[in-house]
Amino acid sequence: MSYENIKYDKKDQIATITIDRPKVLNALNMQTMEELRQAFTAARDDKDVRVVILTGAGEKSFVAGADINELAKHNAVEGKEYTHQGQSVLDLIENLGKPVICCINGFALGGGCELALACDFRVASDTARFGLPEIKIGAFPGGGGTQRLTRLIGTAKAKEMILFGDPITAQEAQTIGLVTKVTAKDKYFDEAMNLAARLAALPRLALQASKMLINRSQDIDLATGLEFEARTFGGIAHSHDLAEGTQAFLEKRKANFIGS
């Protein structure tokens, strides 16, 4: 499949999706969002892909935000549809069934920050900046920012970031739980690849089930969550990888997981 605004690469069971619009700091227009939908759908359906890395081209920005030229033209009906389309892409990423690592250098603002929030892990260079500045143009984060950020870092810090709209450093983002790891600028992608390789070596069904259960835990009470957990565990109890993993543990050897 050919793309205009992104690049899609695959190696060693890891798919790398790169937003490639450096001249506009990788700003998200609707074409780019639709290409992201296609790329993540392809990664989801490819049995050879175990982990996905999402990053941005260039030295200055992961994604500097939405394309303001598009945003400024919307009426009420178009604005709602625009938001729904963007949210659906981020929902796809969040619920992909495979781990997604966001690899961030430079600006992750507005829609870029929201895109990062939909991923499972966020690895940032020490030059990265995170923010949701929509309030300063009379808007608010409409790509899931008000919901995912609050769930991730808590109400008080989410209000501070969204209502003031000021960016924060990668180091502060790590302190409040927004970022998983911060590295030097020349090492952030290597760190993301290292995490991806570790995840790719783990049993696929257990990873998929764990991610689903954690995501669902945000929306259901404890008793329902525990029952869902028990039923899901029963669903993988007969899997090859669980049998192999337990046998390898007992025999004190490395397990040979095959993803089934």
The residues annotated with a catalytic role in the active site are 114, 134
- Report which secondary-structure segment, H or E, holds 31: helix 30-45
The answer to whether 189 touches 18, Cβ cutoff 8 Å, is no
Secondary structure of residue 236 in the 3-state scheme: helix
Determine the number of helices (DSSP H) and then strands (DSSP E) in the chain: 11, 10
- Report residue 11 as tokens: 């190696």
For residues 48 and 3, give the distance between their C-alpha atoms in angstroms, rounded to a whole number. Answer: 21
- Strands of 12-128 (E only): list them: 14-19, 51-56, 61-63, 100-104, 107-109, 121-125
Q: How is the beta sheet containing 121-125 ordered, strand by strand? A: 6-11, 14-19, 51-56, 100-104, 121-125, 181-183
Instruction: Please say whether the dihedral angle defined by the alpha carbons of residues 130, 134, 137 and 138, taken in this order, is positive or negative.
Output: negative
- Strands of 57-148 (E only): list them: 61-63, 100-104, 107-109, 121-125, 129-131
The answer to whether 53 touches 14, Cβ cutoff 8 Å, is yes
For residues 161 and 149, give the distance between their C-alpha atoms in angstroms, rounded to a whole number. Answer: 9
